Amino acid sequence: MSPPPITSVTRQLSRRSVFEALLHRSPISRADLAKVTSLSKQTMSEVIDAFEQQGLVRPVGRTRGNVGRTAVLYELSPEGGHVLGIDLGAQRLTVALADIAGRVLAEADEATDGRGGGWALDQIARLSDRLARDNHTHPSRIRSIVMATPGVVNPRSGAIELAPNITGLDHLNVVGLLGEKLGSPVVLENDINLALLGEIWHGCARNVDNVAFLALGSGVGLGLHVNGRLVRGENGAAGEIGYLPIGGDPLQAESRPQGCLEYQIGATGVVRRYREAGGRDVETERQVFDRAQAGDAVAASVVEETARLTALAAATVIATVDPQLLVLGGSVGARADFADKVARLLLQLSPRPVEIRTSILGRRAGVVGALSVALRRLHDEFFGVAELAATLPLPPPARRGASQ
């Protein structure tokens, strides 16, 4: 195969810059597009005509107020392509559909099928189909799918490993099976990494590049984002802070599978410690936190200890990687009462404290992060230029119907 002629690279660069301008400045006229992109009016007309034929843009009205002729305003069309974000959690399954401009069109969630494995995959396909159908979106228009999962994806087998809270995913080729069911390739990514990307795109870490996201819920984990990239580690196991030697003796046999820290502050650890301290009739860590707030002294001391160990983990993160911002997330970590305790303890523990914020996307962080990665992949598929390593910057998030 001969290399593509130089003109096709030039044309792709023009298309890319027009698309970027539409992404960030819609609705916009051809004249303004030409100004912003420094392309000639002739080139602009060619690109816009091509985009219209592809269904990428649509006219949305005309400029007003000026004397003389008015101009047609364009915006990215929702028909240009769709992306799907999925967050498969141990408790909840969330699916969201967005258009090429990043507008979230629909979102749905339900309790995760407790039987796990193939049942969970069927459930994902069912919920995704329903979401697309309700929005009159043909499945073939969904061009990019990203799913958040706990644990680590094995790149060879496509299975999800180290995710003890959802059964039966470590023996299945999740990547392959889900791709078949949804009719389009699926990219899997660790849920905490995606929650972090969600907060950066749409949440409390906007415009911050150097962020650590400490998630505490069923388990505990850390996402790190530096210089525009996730830190994944040599084997994709960076951020597995459940194994930090905090809160006990790492030689202890019973804490080894989960890790020393998670054994104490993961959901089962919180419940176990509450029971050991005399707490009764308890099933979930949420009950322990609620009772602490309602004045149960035993629960309060368990929560206090959980906050202390979380603060020690946060101090460890700060000493080692020096983030600009530390985000506390997860079902426990994002609780305001809990985050306050951690922040207060951290002041005593860390000689050089950093800014702390709590996740504002909460349970949606993972699915929003999945959408952001799916969007970047779609934009790259349409407008990637081999010579340009950087992906297009994402537009500020917008809900359906919102227009500037």
Partner 1 sequence: MTPAAAYCFAADLGGTKLAAAIADARGSIVAELTEATDRRGAAQVAEQIAGCADKLAKTVGIEVTQARQVMVGIPGAVNPGTGRVSLTPNIAGLEDFDILGYLRGRFAAHVTIENDVNLAMLGEYALGCASGCRNAAFLSLGTGTGLGLLIDGRLFRGARGLAGEIADLPIGRDPASNSPSASGTFEHEVSSLAIVDRYRLQGGTAATTVRNIFRLLEQGDDVAASVLDTTARWVALALVTLQSLLDLDLVVLGGSIGVRPELYERVRLALPALFSRPIAIAPSALGDRAGLIGAVWAATQALSRRPEAA
The reply to whether 243 sits near partner 1 by the rule CB under 8 A is yes
Distance of closest approach, residue 231 Cβ to partner 1, in angstroms: 6
Residues from 326 through 345 that contact partner 1 (CB under 8 A): 345
When asked if residue 277 is in the footprint of partner 1 (CB under 8 A), the reply is: no
Q: Give dist(CA 363, CA 367) in Å, integer.
A: 8
Contact by Cβ (8 Å): 338, 366: no
Q: How many residues bind partner 1 (CB under 8 A)?
A: 47
Q: 201-240 mask for partner 1 (x: CB under 8 A)?
A: ---------x-----------x---xx-x-xxxxxxxxxx
List 144's β-bridge partners, or say none. Answer: 83
Of residues 39 and 241, the one with the C-beta less far from partner 1: 241
Q: What residue has token string 């929560």?
A: 303
Nearer to partner 1, 143 or 308 (CB): 308
Number of neighbouring beta carbons within 10 Å of residue 264: 22
Binding mask 159-198 for partner 1 (x = CB under 8 A): ----------------------------------------
Q: How far is the CB of 353 from partner 1 (least distance, A)?
A: 11
Q: Is 300 helix (H, G, I), strand (E, B) or coil?
A: helix
| Rounded Cα distance, 188 and 194, in Å | 10
Long-range contacts of 181-185, Cβ-Cβ distance < 8 Å, separation of 24 or more: 181/121, 181/122, 181/124, 181/125, 182/84, 182/124, 182/125, 182/128, 182/139, 182/142, 182/145, 183/139, 183/140, 184/139, 184/142, 184/143, 184/144, 184/145, 185/145
Q: Per rule CB under 8 A, is residue 244 in the interface with partner 1?
A: yes
Write out the binding residues for partner 1, residues 301-330 only, by CB under 8 A.
Answer: 305, 308, 311-312, 315-317, 319-324
Applying CB under 8 A, which of residues 352, 389, 390, 401 lies at the interface with partner 1?
Answer: 352
Q: Name the one range near partner 1 by CB under 8 A: 4-12, 143-151, 193-201, 245-253.
A: 245-253
Q: Does 67 bind partner 1 (CB under 8 A)?
A: no
The maximal CA–CA distance of the chain, rounded, in angstroms, is: 81
User: How far, in Å, CA of 183 to CA of 147, rounded?
Assistant: 14
Name the minimum Å distance from CB 11 to partner 1.
32
- Return d(Cα 254, Cα 250) in angstroms, integer: 9
252 contacts partner 1 (rule: CB under 8 A): no
* Closer Cβ to partner 1, 76 or 152, answer by number: 152
Contacting positions for partner 1 (CB under 8 A): 210, 222, 226-227, 229, 231-248, 250-251, 256, 259, 305, 308, 311-312, 315-317, 319-324, 345, 348-352, 354
